[in-house]
């Protein structure tokens, strides 16, 4: 695991809930989501603008974190999750990348995207 003093950012990983729609299908429901606090390192890798049909700011970020929550519980992150850091909200892009030592899971590398506008 990565020492806590190297992970200076406290973020929240949000998992969506689910509900059944009128056709009997399970659908994502963010109104009943759950959040867990995670110590992490966040850095912006790239940024850009989408000015084709709107004025959007797009950022690609990297989050590095231990495989446990701030409470010491095992951390699970999925591609449908969101990450909150201060006033910023990110979407997880794909599954987290596990990084191993020869003996065990060491940390996760998680790609994030933020879009404003």
Q: Which residues contact 6 (CB under 8 A, 6 or more apart)?
A: 41
Domains, the chain, in order of start with CATH, read 4-116 (2.40.10.270)
Whether 57 has a pLDDT exceeding 60, the answer reads yes
Mean pLDDT of the chain: 89
Whether 50 has a pLDDT exceeding 70, the answer reads no
Length of the chain (residues): 117
Q: What is the pLDDT of residue 59?
A: 86
Whether 84 has a pLDDT exceeding 60, the answer reads yes
Q: What is the pLDDT of residue 49?
A: 62
């Amino acid at each position: 695991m990565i020492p806590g003093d190297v992970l200076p950012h406290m973020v929240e990983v949000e998992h969506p809930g689910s509900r059944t729609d009128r056709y009997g299908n399970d659908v994502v429901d963010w109104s009943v989501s759950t959040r867990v606090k995670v110590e992490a390192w966040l850095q912006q890798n790239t940024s850009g603008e989408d000015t084709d049909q709107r004025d959007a700011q797009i950022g690609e970020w990297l989050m590095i974190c231990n495989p446990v929550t701030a409470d010491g519980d095992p951390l699970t992150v999925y591609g449908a999750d969101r990450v909150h850091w201060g006033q910023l909200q990110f979407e997880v892009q794909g599954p987290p990348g596990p990084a191993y030592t020869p003996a065990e899971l060491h940390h996760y590398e998680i790609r994030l995207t933020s879009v404003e506008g």
